[in-house]
Amino acid sequence: MRYKQIPSSLFIKNRQKFINKMESNSIAILTSNDIMPNNADDMMGFAQNNDLFYLSGVDQEESILVLYPDAELKENREILFVKETNELIKVWEGDKLTKEKAFKISGIRNVKWLQDFELTIQYMGFEADTFYLGHNEHKKTLTVEMNTQQDRMISWCKDRYPLHNYKRAAKVTREIRQIKSAEEIVLIEKAADISIGGFKRVLRAAKPGMMEYELEAELTYELVRKGARSHAFMPIVASGENACALHYNTNDSACNNGDLILMDFGVCYANYNSDTTRCFPVSGKFSERQKEVYSAVYHCLREGSKLLVPGAISAEYEKQMAGLVEEQLVNLGLLKIKDIKKQDPENPLYKKYFMHGTAHHIGLDVHDVGLYTRTFEAGMVLTCEPGIYIPEEKIGCRLENDYLITAEGNINLTKEMPIEIEDIELLMQKK
């Protein structure tokens, strides 16, 4: 692994949180993700099932976690199944987890080889009343016919145990994962620190005539050099009017003198993510209009982030943030108060220039799991990302930080990433 081993105490605590939510006499089964094929004999990079990682720390394919807290035999209350390696696998793929290594990572003493899974469940399955099974549940997930390891596990269990009760493991994990532990905060901060270094590197490298993907390469160099697994998502490096397309990420245009670049990027470190956005001028100096738009968005970020406090409700927060942006659109001459007073409340005028939400949970997923009907609580980590997009002026500006909510307010985990106009211009002059 590229990251320093995480103390197994984190995963032991996480499993206890999960177990505390389970019904009596039930078994939970969490599987790893598959390695997905690409073309010919190529494979995509492996990304672990985050619920399995949260509960075990295991970052390897072909792994299964079984929790049966009411098992008669104490050793069967937590079982981890991992792939048994051999000399051929070692030659072609390198080392895999041994039972001893899997125990040190997870804190689970009963580690078995994957081929023992079916027989082990056979001995325990009919003693239990309920199975908790995992699946990828997120409001932005596209529901399509799939054949993932999770899908296969659901089919396998229901085929052999058709009369048992079935519960959704994701309903539990989306609740407990929203509150981050101290250990998790450290990992998110590490991802953020790498992002900060990447942004500073981009500022020093940027110049008129460069391609957007060249700046993406500067980001990539820094995150690999610092031990990150990958980008948290496909980075957006959008110059000029490209910045007005919210999910633009082809990054294949030239950065022309006079353009403002919007860069939305994150780092995945030890499976935990950062998510930040910054804007800067290709020339190294903001034009007066760019300064006006940038300052307006920055004002919304400063004031809006103050609303991320315990007890706040997401829908009300977003409504207040929209009000902040609307006010700035008036100041920029893009909206008129008299028109706002006559607008259709169901189709507010500000949406022409600001059309997205501004706060999402972040952690093991960039858009981390959790219900937005739940009030904000200490221990949650959320983004704040207002923006203003003016296609007719070829200006798109969004600014984004990551905030840890505490009982006293919030802490900006990305405060060291340059954001003041003067700081950005100064760094860009130091080539």
Choice between 49 and 136, residue whose per-residue pLDDT is larger:
49
- Asked if the model's pLDDT at residue 143 lies above 60, the reply is no
One DSSP character per residue, 290-321 reads HHHHHHHHHHHHHHHHTT--TT--HHHHHHHH
CA-wise closest residue to 379 among 179, 176, 174: 179
| pLDDT value, residue 369 | 95
* Angstrom distance (rounded) from CA 300 to CA 379: 23
- Asked if the model's pLDDT at residue 146 lies above 80, the reply is no
Contacts of 225 (CB under 8 A, 6+ apart): none
Mean pLDDT of 405-431: 94
- Report whether CATH 3.90.230.10 matches the domain 182-429: yes
| pLDDT value, residue 57 | 98
| pLDDT value, residue 156 | 94
| pLDDT value, residue 323 | 97
Q: What percent of the chain has pLDDT over 70?
A: 98
Mutual angle of helices 288-305 and 314-331, in 10-degree steps: 150
Choice between 387 and 149, residue whose per-residue pLDDT is larger:
387
| pLDDT value, residue 137 | 79
pLDDT tens sequence across 53-76 = 999 999 999 999 999 999 999 999
Mean pLDDT of 294-306: 98
The class that CATH gives domain 8-176 is alpha beta
| pLDDT value, residue 423 | 98
pLDDT tens sequence across 17-66 = 999 999 999 999 999 998 877 886 677 788 899 999 999 999 999 999 99
- Asked if the model's pLDDT at residue 431 lies above 70, the reply is no
Residue 111 — φ and ψ, nearest 5°? -110, 125
Split at pLDDT 50, 70, 90, the class of 87 is: confident
| pLDDT value, residue 339 | 96
* Domain residue limits, the chain: 8-176, 182-429
- What is the length of the chain? 431
Q: Where are the beta strands (DSSP E) in 270-408?
A: 272-273, 276-281, 381-384, 387-390, 395-398, 401-406
Q: What percent of the chain has pLDDT over 90?
A: 89
| Average pLDDT along the chain | 95
CA-wise closest residue to 299 among 412, 397, 188, 372: 397
SS3 label, residue 139 = coil
- Asked if the model's pLDDT at residue 216 lies above 80, the reply is yes
* Angstrom distance (rounded) from CA 197 to CA 219: 9
| pLDDT value, residue 430 | 77
Residue 57 — φ and ψ, nearest 5°? 80, 0
- Asked if the model's pLDDT at residue 269 lies above 90, the reply is yes
pLDDT tens sequence across 176-210 = 999 999 999 999 999 999 999 999 999 999 999 99
Asked whether the domain spanning 182-429 has the same topology as the one spanning 8-176, the reply is no
Question: Which secondary-structure segment (H or E) carries 79?
Answer: strand 78-82
- Asked if the model's pLDDT at residue 421 lies above 80, the reply is yes
